[in-house]
Structure 1
């Protein structure tokens, strides 16, 4: 029979959770008087926002229940998820996350000495872990790996192999962190069931999985770093907070798709430590009202006894209390500099005035779909002495036909079987009767010398090349000729003094490193 203390601890651990896998094992650990070891991992990608208080409030619950908690800064996971965190920024983003998460915990009074912090690459690059990745890859099917990451790993038309590795690495983390349970959002359920299936296949124990519901953002959808109006940054000013809350979706009587109410339920009430939640109102509207529990607030909001404006005002007051110590801490010159380096601002360049269409569209090199290619054949164009006709494998079923003006400037033998970099989303155009389906990117010096750009040696056809600091946007499906997007971006495409391809000061990189033109430095790219 469960003792009262284990029942209390179980209640704290499961408060506001949507689902627990392995509840019987959790109950047994608690009945035996053991300290449950739980880990929560966060991929160090976009800037943490106020929705991070949802898992942080649960970490406070776990600690109050006497659990041992490990927070994993999953830097390698962020890189593998379609390079959301460029390799060159991994360490900077880990430092930023560590400072932010610690500041959040301190703002709600959670002692840091009860927590363990660890970085993924501290152990995920070890010999033992690497061997287990290979062991896991020998038993996991492509179907199961893809299915497991469907709701977490960024889905694209031509996924990288790294995205298939992601669920396996997260499963192995449970073993290497020596925990009893993993905590995460219900969007990770498929990864959790993947872990329960495949860890025993390697001889490792099945873990408990604790899942938070997906809390809607201010727009009524998932709060996202990439959707500006849906999130409140942890360093947003009080005026910015007020502005965003004013726009927030909070329909009278709607208790199901209401980000304001959800935040109140999952963050403000759990962190209140029994203090009533205050709604301030003028006397003519019923006067102030105190709520001892969330259920009472939700019931009266659903009955339209609480006005959305009054609820927003109360939530604004409480959020400011949470953010004030974080804002103060991040005013230091050191943390300001860290933030600017970890998250370089993407310039919002506009299309030049006078363009016939798309004049208000933002220009970013993320709109270019650039991939590694391998030239499988190269020959003279049958109807032009200045053009080559190349067949280039870019990881698709059939190599693309590319016409380039390299005849007389680059020898055919220098092109065959060579790794190159290709712009893939230009509109196909016929050149002397043959359609060119992409553009071979080259460095061109002032004297007319040409050198095709080269990706890292071990690259494979189809690998994506992105400009650092511009990895969050999606490339255009097709660059429309009339909008001249590439032409305007091309003005700032150059090789550096080290021969590295870049747009302004942002290097062009694949997951293996920078794209280069070794013999042409400070040259234009076209």
Structure 2
């Protein structure tokens, strides 16, 4: 085995990173010995294809001779707004360990060089607990909240658990006895908190290595909670083809392109010497071409010489190649049983005395309800009671939607407001202007008070809103002849607490936040 120099080791450790904190210390350690690094992941939603980005860095660390610890942060998963219920912590950790070992094997990373640790193996010890108390005596509430702003789920009234989260992650560096912590750049504020407060407990400041954030398939951050933004590691080839077909891939756009990011941070780090990104095209489309470095591919795409369809087809080929071993590993009855136990499907409300076809007809998953942001408000030129709204729904252009809110909500109150929009009604003309959706509102019995549903401020335009227990694919367009909306809306209302429900099932954002209204026990239309 070829012995690497300190400079060569550093190149492997830092390549493709966005930022390094403590570079001088890194240089010093590498001159004396190999680096000890840990990467932690909270065991919440199922790992998706973007997890190959940190896994490829784990491979780089091992090539550099580092001692690498992977932490399954089960306690952190519970503290982050109970994203993993206490009853499922053990099962989620087992699932993460199985799937991440399968991932590493699929990209030929030797498992015997890795150390796997579960957070609750040491985070419930007397010594760790006392250090949590010591840390809580010096960390301010302001610093704790600021540190977790981009990692811990943000709500109007944060739980104390979310404030503890960043401090516990800082303490992990000491209890895992590492030189450095690796993570995404979204954790930078947690790393800064660790650098500030660990020395106050008498512990040394660590090195922090940060990956860039990889865009999802729909643009923006790839997220476990947004089904269409990510590819699950166990997705079938057919599902991958469908998701990639829908993926945002604007010709020439290299800044918000999840496909190109995957090629850069995963595929090119896996290619052996002489291998490259091989694109197969017809002669009419330019013929086959192979790129041996990412920069050439990026320039080629930026100059619109590569069609998005050809990029998607090639990425699909490579994704299936690295996912095949993982899918095969999870064909065993034991791992299938573990997957079902760790992520049980939500219980769906059954309709008594009804056939399966009737239940399907009456299921609210058929409604395409999304978060929208009102970007323009104007009076309808031919109707005194109607507004013409331009609403950003995460699409290329805002939609035009007509709403009868003139008597109830002022222009100032509507402008820049987040609203919930039913997007798959058949477009219809209202006094000569085509309306492409409906702003969902609550109203009292005599319709003297009408107001849009209140959307949590952290929601993002374009986010799908789903009813608890119903997470299927909505209809592309509701058939007006079957009166699906009319049937479903009969049970769509606010409960006694003013929370939006369909038959007692909450309407939720992808982050699990509820939508509400000042009006309780009122219909929503």
The two structures have a TM-score, normalised by structure 1, of 0.69
Q: Is the 8 A contact 2:234 2:326 kept in 1?
A: yes
- How many residue pairs were aligned? 381
Partner of 1:145: 144
- 1:178-193 aligned at under 5 Å gives the runs 178-193=177-192
Measured against aligned partners, the alpha-carbon deviations of 1:450-484 in whole angstroms (never above 9, x if no partner) come to xxxxxxxxxxxxxxxx99xx996322324863459
Residue 322 of structure 1 corresponds to: 322
Change (3 A) 1:246 1:195: same
Q: What residue in structure 2 maps to residue 505 of structure 1?
A: none
Q: 1:149 to 1:307 in 2, by over 3 A?
A: same
Q: Distance in 2 between matches of 1:124 and 1:178?
A: 14
Q: 2 CA distance for matches of 1:56 and 1:144?
A: 30
Q: Do the aligned partners of 1:17 and 1:212 also contact (CA within 8 Å) in 2?
A: yes
Query: What is the match of residue 25 of structure 2?
Result: 25
2:170 — aligned with what?
171
Q: Identify the residue that residue 285 of structure 1 maps to in structure 2.
A: 285
Runs of at least 5 residues in structure 1 that lack an aligned partner in the other structure: 364-424, 429-436, 440-465, 486-526
Over residues 282-312 of structure 1, what are the superposed CA-to-partner deviations in whole Å (9 max), with x where a residue is unaligned?
1222211111100000010001111111111
Which residue of 2 is the match for residue 481 of structure 1? Answer: 521
- Flag the 1:199–1:211 CA change in 2: closer, same or farther, 3 A: same
| Among 361, 366, 387, the residue aligned to 2:364 | 361
Whether the aligned pair in 2 keeps the contact of 1:72 and 1:118 (CA below 8 Å) is yes
Distance 1:136 1:315, change over 3 A: same
**CA deviation map 1:178-231 (0-9, x unaligned):** 000000000000000000000000000000000000100001111111101001
Measured in 2, the distance between the counterparts of 1:291 and 1:325 equals 25
Distance change in 2, residues 1:18/1:161 (3 Å) = same
2: CA distance, partners of 1:472 / 1:336: 26
Alignment partner, residue 51 of structure 2: 52
Q: Distance in 1 between matches of 2:187 and 2:350?
A: 38
The structure with more radius of gyration: 1
Note closer, same or farther for the CA distance 1:158–1:295 as it changes in structure 2 (3 Å cut). Answer: same
Match of 2:287, SS state, is coil
**CA spacing shift, 1:307–1:362, aligned 2, 3 Å:** closer
SS at match of 1:118: strand
Is the 1:217–1:230 contact (alpha carbons within 8 Å) kept by the matching residues of 2? yes
Aligned match of 1:207: 206
Match of 1:111 in 2: 110
1:104-139 C-alpha deviation (Å, 9 max, x unpaired): 000000010000000000000001000100100111
Distance in 2, Cα, partners of 1:308 & 1:344: 36
Q: Counterpart of 1:8 in 2: which secondary structure?
A: helix
Asked if the contact 1:18/1:211 (under 8 Å) is kept, the reply is yes
Aligned partners of 2:4 and 2:64 also within 8 Å: no
| C-alpha contact (below 8 Å) 2:498/2:516 kept by paired residues | no
The correspondence of residues 89-488 of structure 1 with structure 2, limited to 5 A, is: 89-274=88-273, 275-349=275-349, 361-362=364-365, 473-478=512-517, 481-483=521-523
Does the CA-based 8 Å contact 1:40-1:72 persist in structure 2? yes
Q: Residues 484, 299 of structure 1: CA spacing in aligned structure 2 closer, same or farther, 3 A cutoff?
A: closer
> Bigger shift: 155-164 or 475-484?
475-484
Check whether the contact 1:136–1:202 (CA below 8 A) recurs between aligned residues. yes
Gaps of 5+ in 2: 355-360, 367-492, 500-504
Alignment-derived partner of residue 65 in structure 1 = 64
* Alpha-carbon offset, residue 349 of structure 1: 4.5
* TM-aligned CA distance change 1:208 to 1:339, over 3 Å: same
Partners of 1:10 and 1:315 in 2: CA distance: 29
Change (3 A) 1:284 1:426: closer
The 1-side partners of 2:350 and 2:249 are apart by 34
Cα distance in 1, alignment partners of residues 320 and 522 from structure 2 = 47
Q: Is the CA contact (8 Å cut-off) linking 1:83 and 1:471 kept in structure 2?
A: no
Does residue 84 of structure 1 match 2:87? no
Q: In structure 2, what is the Cα distance between the partners aligned to 1:299 and 1:264?
A: 14
By how many angstroms is 1:252 displaced? 0.6
- Choose 267-276 or 109-118, whichever is displaced more: 267-276
RMSD, matched Cα:
2.6
C-alpha separation between the residues in 1 aligned to 2:346 and 2:266?
A: 32
Deviating beyond 6 angstroms after TM superposition, the runs of 4 or more aligned structure 1 residues are: 350-353
Contact 2:25–2:207 under 8 Å retained in 1:
yes
Counterpart secondary structure, 1:38? strand
- Against the structure 1 CA distance between its residues 116 and 170, is the aligned structure 2 distance closer, same or farther, given a 3 Å change threshold? same
**In structure 2, the residue corresponding to 1:481 is in which secondary structure?**
coil
Distance 1:480 1:105 in 2: 51
C-alpha distance in 2, partners of 1:254/1:341? Answer: 41
- Is the 1:149–1:166 contact (alpha carbons within 8 Å) kept by the matching residues of 2? yes
Query: 1:354-386: CA deviations, max 9, x gaps?
Result: xxxx976359xxxxxxxxxxxxxxxxxxxxxxx
Whether the aligned pair in 2 keeps the contact of 1:217 and 1:223 (CA below 8 Å) is yes
Is the partner of 2:272 in helix, strand or coil? Answer: coil
